[in-house]
């Protein structure tokens, strides 16, 4: 059985359990898909294929890891969310800084077995609902280049809708996690403020911001939410 074209979490988990394919096969397929998408400025930073495959090797060598809820599931994060060792730009090259540690939510997802593929484009400083306010280029909707992707979590939405990752993280202050979902036929989950820690997220409006989830269906969004949520003393909300 080949890697499914729609990278739904449930389909990947079932396929791994049945031995139909492996995380290594899925990740190699993901990088092939990314290489084939040349007309969308989805990514600001990519995890190298070698680094992603090293992560795969660690997971595949750990028998206990196979029981993790997001084992072998590829994902992306909006580039206003910190990932240790990678630059966080918030869509502004002059702001760029290398994160010393990952955001709490990223650590939770990695601990659950997910595989990070890269950091995605956004309306600069997450202020905008159209997805075109980025010096890295403007993503369009997957339904046509004449349509906007929606913002500010443009790259995060398009990465999922284009079949490059199973889910992604965005942020939502006033619609940034829901407008791009609607424009790309996705489920955009906006949690109650504080349900998912915003520690390690560049704020647009700290009292309103939350980390949002883009997924192909409600079940996938719920599966990610169950892993991502939880109290964090580093987040005052």
Active-site positions read 78, 152, 176
Measured at the alpha carbon of residue 80, what is the angle toward residues 106 and 186, in degrees to the nearest 5? 75
CA 206, CA 53: separation in Å to the nearest integer? 35
Dihedral of the CA atoms 195, 180, 6, 163 (nearest 10)?
-110
Q: Which residues sit opposite 74 in a β-bridge?
A: 115
Contact 88, 183 (CB under 8 A): no
How do strand 74-78 and strand 115-120 relate by DSSP bridges?
parallel
Query: What are the two backbone dihedrals, phi and then psi, of residue 171, each rounded to the nearest 5 degrees?
Result: -130, 160
Cβ count within 10 A of residue 79: 30
Contact 180, 188 (CB under 8 A): yes
The number of helix segments (H) and strand segments (E) in the chain equals 7, 8
Q: Which string of b and e fits 123-140 if b means at least 16 CB within 10 Å? A: bbbbbbbbbebbebebbb
CA 138, CA 134: separation in Å to the nearest integer? 6
CA 66, CA 61: separation in Å to the nearest integer? 9
């Amino acid at each position: 059985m080949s890697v499914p074209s729609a990278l739904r979490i449930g389909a990947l988990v079932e396929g791994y359990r049945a031995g139909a394919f492996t995380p290594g096969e899925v990740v190699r397929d993901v990088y092939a898909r990314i290489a084939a998408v040349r007309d969308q400025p989805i990514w600001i930073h990519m995890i190298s294929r070698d680094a992603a495959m090293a992560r795969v090797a660690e997971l595949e060598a750990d028998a206990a890891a196979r029981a993790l809820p997001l084992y072998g599931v590829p994902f992306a994060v909006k580039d206003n969310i910190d990932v240790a060792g990678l630059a966080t730009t918030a869509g502004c090259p002059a702001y760029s800084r290398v994160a010393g540690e990952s955001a709490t939510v990223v650590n939770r997802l990695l601990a659950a077995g997910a595989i990070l593929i890269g950091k995605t484009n956004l309306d600069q400083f997450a202020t905008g609902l159209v997805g075109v306010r980025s010096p890295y280029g403007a993503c369009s909707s997957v339904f046509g280049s004449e349509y906007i992707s929606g913002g500010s979590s443009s790259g995060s939405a398009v990465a999922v809708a284009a079949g490059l990752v199973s889910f992604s993280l965005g942020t939502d202050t006033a619609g940034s996690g829901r407008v791009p979902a609607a424009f790309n036929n996705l489920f955009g989950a906006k949690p109650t403020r504080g349900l998912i820690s915003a520690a390690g997220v560049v704020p647009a409006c700290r009292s309103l911001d939350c980390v949002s989830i883009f997924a192909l269906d409600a079940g996938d969004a719920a599966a990610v939410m169950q892993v991502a949520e939880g109290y964090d003393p580093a987040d005052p909300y």
